[in-house]
Structure 1
Amino acid sequence: MQSKKLKVLVLGYGAREHALAWKIVQSPQVGRIFVAPGNAGTGEIATNVPISDEDVPGLVAFAQQNQIDLTVVGTNDPLAFGVVDAFQAAGLAIFGPQQAAARLEYSKAFAKRFMQRHNIPTPRFATFHSYDEAVAYLDTLPHGRLVVKVSGLGKMGLGVTVCDTKAQARAALHSYMVHKLLGDAAAQTVIIEERLSGPELSMFALSDGKTAVPLFPVRDHKRIFDGDNGPNTGGMGAFAPVPGLPANFEANVMKNIIQPTIDGMAAEGNPYVGVLFAGLMLTERGVQVLEFNCRFGNPETLVLMALLESDLVEAMLACIHGKLTPAHIQISDGAAAAVMLASPSYPAESFPTGLPITGTRLARALPSVNLFHHGTKLENGRLLTSRGRVLAVIGSGSSLSCALKQAYRGVDHIHFAGAQYRSDIGGGIPQLPRRPILGWYEKRIRVRPVLSEAEATAV
């Protein structure tokens, strides 16, 4: 007798949720998938639901009425609003940390103090609730090479300012705490943090509250312009595997950062269930945690889903039921790269929307190329832009250079007025040296064949 197929609900609107839905629908356990509110891309593989991902009562009611078996939280705000707690109170299975555990993301002040308590390496910092006190502290410092962060959730990639001078730091404090650029809540608490230097990357792991199992590191590109110039965005591209990492990097991060975080949250009565995303910097002092996120990253998730070979739904259910094991995670031994196309003038607060998009079918027809929509909508049969970041093109291959070639070939087919994108993701289009897969990949299982260097060159 065939078992009942699961109904799955994904919360969110962007490329991350499109990628999650794309991976979830591949599970043999899944029968139907919904995305709230979704976009034009998710509408092609799932049923979009016109409910905001911030409308917690509305989402609970929908899940109850439609007998949803599993809900997956994509975006950050619902976690801060207690969506996991509300679903669990209604007896509904949901993948993500409870509100108290999600403070690791939505309260940077909590996260920094937590890391202090549990000896997790992080840059030195000071926390302020008053603009005058923050400026007075700033005046005591020998230089202005600092990072100013709002403690609460940012938006549109905002909420962190990397400063070279005290004048820049003072301007950032004024913008956040006096001008209230990100709203009243964000203005209440600001962190001044020492500025370290070194390569940045993201490390992802799943947790069932006790056991943490790594996915793999991903490097993303946050600034809008080539050469890591211009203001920060939500992310303009990502790639994996990350070349040149120190020996035993993953094992050391799991031992010194990820598992102590899971153990610390459990010890403090807030067991962490879901995906933990650590933003890391490789410094002269070793690996330092710049921030934690409590959900899959965007655009990193696009690369994660492209390389994840195992059943994501099975792994999520194992987390929920406290039965996660390393066997739940199997990774391709290839490479993947994502390039994000953005609206003109993004990441400014104002940018045009409703611009017609062409070429998506041609891009998707290329071998080892996929598209995930971020800010798109359908009107009268036409695909239009609707947000600052619009579409992500993902290339896969046997090497990073191969994956990048395919991603940029896809980008070449897509057009909308004023489209902008980074041409140097992962090193860009030029011939890159083919690098061996890092040692920790050797224990993972490769299932899907990927495009070889020769095949990519011939396309």
Structure 2
Amino acid sequence: MKVLVIGSGGREHALCHKLSESKRVSKIYCAPGNGGTLQVAENVNINPKDIDLLLDFAINKDIDLTVVGPEDPLVNGIVDRFNEKGLKIFGPNKKGAILEGSKIISKGFMEKYNIPTGKYKVFKEAKAAISFLDSLNYPIVIKADGLCAGKGVIICKTKEEGIKAIEDIMVDKKFGLSGEEILIEEFLEGTETSLLCFVSNENIIPMESARDYKKIFEGDKGPNTGGVGCFSPNPVMTDKLKEEIEKSILKNIKIGFKNEDIDFRGILFIGLMLTADGPKVLEFNVRFGDPETEVVLPRLENDIVDIFEKTMDGSLKEEDLKWTDKKCVTVVLTSKGYPVEYEKGKEITENEELDKDIILFHNGTKVEDGKLLTNGGRVLSVTALGDTLKEAREKVYKNIDKIKCDDLCYRKDIGII
């Protein structure tokens, strides 16, 4: 079968890599892809937001299955468009994708169906939002309502930081129309964990757990990023905690889907904070996470095409998912200056000396004139499996120094627990 993967990051490279292991797949296209996806797929120069072009390509190439990586096309209804033409596509429809497309709708859904989350208030005007800051204890969290490429969530430690965040979003329109409305939320203390789930015919089936590292510097210091490291499984995800999440969160999400007539088929990514009062939901995403995908998919032993098809036709069961007991660690190499200002176009010389059991996922690279160049803030995800977390992380760090490129940075504490 011929498969089209939409997107250009490490998540999409991980998806292409997993699809390439399937005996059922004869050809993979990636739109637009990166320097790494070229190893297993044919890159196609189509913007992931251009649904019309993607649809034409899928029809003209007789694509059997399309897999959507990023959130933008999902929120903009790509699944609905493909379904109208009778094309198979993996991901939730527009009605389901709004849970990521609007943080206000998402929080309202949580509140309505008693899904534990932080307290919040919605504002449509900057003046009222700034006035509200006087009544709060800090830190707080300020969020733009719409999609902001992972940058619309700001933790404010003081009132002054809160004022700046509000003005950046609502007055200076830093995120455009996504900042027309904002949420001001309580800051939740605890341990953060990521739970990716397949959702199929009202069944919510968790994958293996993962822990993402958001801060750019060791010790979880510095500004938030899109994620600079990850490991799976997360040892905090005990059987007892899984039962609690099922009862207080997943059960209520299922009720919400049924009552709201949301026929959700795809990935539900639940960002959780494990607080002293129990697990609470930070956010919903409606697609695979990045870098979570880079550590979860290598642990999946099934043919992923079978899993995608069962998810779409509503027949997926928990027992269909088979996972290795091995642990997985990924460390993201970033351009110097990320997540603020950074340069692109630095040559990368790597690969030939890497150990055979290292998986090198590309996040932001391109091939130009036969050279592999940096093309983003997050550049490469060095990934390994091991019998223990310690073994996996040692494999990763042993190989990072073999990758030669000016100005690449990375955290040295990923996977230490």
TM over 0.5: yes
Give me the whole-angstrom Cα distance separating, in 2, the residues matched to 1:262 and 1:293.
16
5 Å-filtered alignment, 1:98-247, equals 98-141=93-136, 143-155=137-149, 157-183=150-176, 185-247=177-239
1:259 and 1:151 map into 2 onto residues whose CA distance is 26
1:260 is aligned to 252
Structure 1 runs (4+) greater than 3 angstroms displaced: 244-247
* Counterparts of 1:210 and 1:270, CA distance in 2: 9
State the match for 1:351 in structure 2.
342
SS in 1 for 2:372: strand
2:25 matched to 1:30?
Answer: yes
Change (3 A) 1:69 1:38: same
Tell me, yes or no, if structure 1 residue 291 matches structure 2 residue 283.
Answer: yes
What's the TM-score, normalizing by structure 1? 0.89
Tell me if the contact between 1:146 and 1:194 (Cα under 8 Å) persists in the aligned partners: yes
Residue equivalent to 1:318: 310
Number of residue equivalences = 417
| 1:166-215 per-position Cα deviation (integer Å, ceiling 9, x unaligned) | 111111111111112122x1220111000111010100110113112111
What is the distance in 2 between the residues matched to 1:263 and 1:55? 34
Map of 1:405 onto structure 2:
394
The answer as to whether partners of 2:209 and 2:237 remain within 8 angstroms in 1 is: no
In the alignment, the residues of structure 1 paired with residue 173 and residue 336 of structure 2 have an alpha-carbon distance, to the nearest angstrom, of 25
Q: Given that residues 202 and 257 in structure 2 are in contact (C-alpha distance below 8 angstroms), is that contact kept between their aligned partners in structure 1?
A: no
Task: After superposition, give the CA deviation of every residue in 1:51-109 in whole Å (9 maximum; x if it has no partner).
Answer: 11110010011001111111111001111111111111111111101111111111010
The answer as to whether partners of 1:12 and 1:36 remain within 8 angstroms in 2 is: yes
Aligned partners of 1:36 and 1:49 also within 8 Å: yes
Q: CA deviation at 1:360?
A: 2.4
Q: Does 1:47 align with 2:42?
A: yes
Q: Which moved more, 1:286-295 or 1:255-264?
A: 255-264
Which structure has more relative contact order (CA 8 Å, sep 6+)? It is 2
Q: Matches of 1:167 and 1:246 in 2, distance apart?
A: 40
Read off the aligned partner of 2:181 and give its amino acid letter: T
1:406 shift after superposition: 0.8
CA distance in 1, matches of 2:162, 2:295: 34
Query: What percentage of aligned pairs have identical amino acids?
Result: 41
3-state SS, counterpart of residue 360 of structure 1: coil
**Aligned-residue offset at 1:294:** 0.2
Amino acid at match of 1:304: V
Could you tell me how far 1:256 is from its partner in structure 2? Answer: 2.3
* 3-state SS of 2:373 partner: strand
Q: Is the 8 A contact 1:226 1:422 kept in 2?
A: yes
Name the CA distance, whole Å, in 1 between partners of 2:238 and 2:294: 24
Partner of 2:296: 304
With 294-303 and 19-28 compared, the bigger mean Cα shift is at 19-28
Query: 2: distance between equivalents of 1:180 and 1:111?
Result: 22
Unaligned runs of 5+ in 2: none
8 Å CA contact 1:311–1:328 kept in 2: the answer is no
2:128 corresponds to which letter in structure 1?
Answer: E
